[in-house]
Amino acid sequence: MTTVTRTTGLAGTLALTAVTPIVWGSTYAVTTEFLPPDRPLFTALMRALPVGLVLLAVTGVLPHGKWLGRAAVLGVLNIGAFFPLLFLAAYRLPGGVAGVLGAVVPMFALGFAAVLLAEAPTRRKVVAGLIGVVGVSLVVLRGNAELDLVGVVAGLVGAASMAAGNVLTKKWGRPEGVGPLAMTGWQLTAGGLFIAPLALLLEGAPPALDGRAIGGYLYLGMIGTALTYWLWFRGISRVPATSVSFLGLLSPISAAVIGWIALGQALTVLQIFGLAVALSGTVLAQIPAKSVSRDPGTRSVVRPGRERVAAGA
């Protein structure tokens, strides 16, 4: 495979994977405008378990052996813990503010990748991560919206959970013959089963649902979960997990724009600048590391400390 072909394939994969965080940015508006209030665990359950069971039925593939435990761990990190924390933040914070907290995922991912994958973070990605944090700070710390401490903590812990799940997904890969759709079903089901008893214990019986709420849950389940997580796990299998994590910076941009257009949430000039800064961090992180050749005609080698791009699954 030539360098041009490899670069083109990488760009295409990243572009398709970027659809996921853009769609995820709508989660906050849908949650606050369509779903029953103050039911983060029930909402997380409805987003995960029904879709997970459907995907299990469609793919007909179940985890076995060591993958029973791995699917459970990934399901808790990527779904079971992340979803409730995400919706808790969404319920307690304005959409734009809740969304930008996800922009710290890349920094967590760089740390987890260094520990779990022995991938020393490149200087470019560290700088890109810091740029993303600056963008978050400009939007959150200087925004005119009131900040709720519980919502902020939930958003940050959720970001750490997602980052750990992404890196472990990359570390463990997939069993031979199992595609990303089946892996998505495993994790959604495991995460949903983790959430179910917590939702019943802490929130009680499910609330009554009207047509508006049912439509919101269908959107979150089919578009915001089944489609997006398939694209997300597909992307993780083909490019470095840290590169995919930086695409998460598109989610707060999407959330803030939706909040501005659809919900009338004002954005100051400084907040808009912060979103632009976060976007620049995303772009910077996707610039591939340069490689050098020892002599003309010899095979390219990656410089020490540079991240290797995984072969496509």
Question: Over the stretch 265-298, which tens digit does the pLDDT of each residue have?
Answer: 777 788 788 888 878 888 888 776 654 344 444 4
What integer pLDDT is reported at residue 239 of this predicted model? Answer: 85
List, as one string, the DSSP characters of 111-150.
Answer: HHHHHHS--PPPHHHHHHHHHHHHHHHHHHTS-SSPPPHH
- Report yes or no: 77 and 165 within 8 Å, Cβ to Cβ: yes
Helix H segments across the chain?
3-17, 19-24, 27-34, 40-59, 66-75, 82-92, 95-100, 105-116, 123-140, 149-172, 180-203, 211-218, 228-238, 241-247, 250-262, 269-285
Question: Over the stretch 9-48, which tens digit does the pLDDT of each residue have?
Answer: 777 888 899 999 899 888 878 888 899 988 989 999 999 9
Going by C-beta distance under 8 Å and a sequence separation of 6 or more, which residues neighbour residue 313?
A: 173, 174, 180, 234, 237, 238
Residue with tokens 């939007």: 139
Going by C-beta distance under 8 Å and a sequence separation of 6 or more, which residues neighbour residue 184?
A: 52, 55, 226, 229, 230, 233
- Report yes or no: 199 and 44 within 8 Å, Cβ to Cβ: yes
Question: Over the stretch 76-134, which tens digit does the pLDDT of each residue have?
Answer: 999 999 988 877 887 777 655 665 676 778 888 999 999 999 888 888 888 988 888 78
Give the range among 212-216, 240-244, 261-265, 297-301 with minimum mean pLDDT. 297-301
Residue 301, pLDDT above cutoff 50: no
What integer pLDDT is reported at residue 83 of this predicted model? Answer: 86
Question: Over the stretch 120-138, which tens digit does the pLDDT of each residue have?
Answer: 888 888 898 888 878 767 7
Q: Which band of pLDDT confidence, cut at 50, 70 and 90, is reported for residue 254?
A: confident
- Report yes or no: 176 and 237 within 8 Å, Cβ to Cβ: no
- Cα-Cα-Cα-Cα dihedral of 235, 279, 161, 80, to 10°? -70
| pTM for this entry | 0.80
Domain ranges of the chain: 3-302
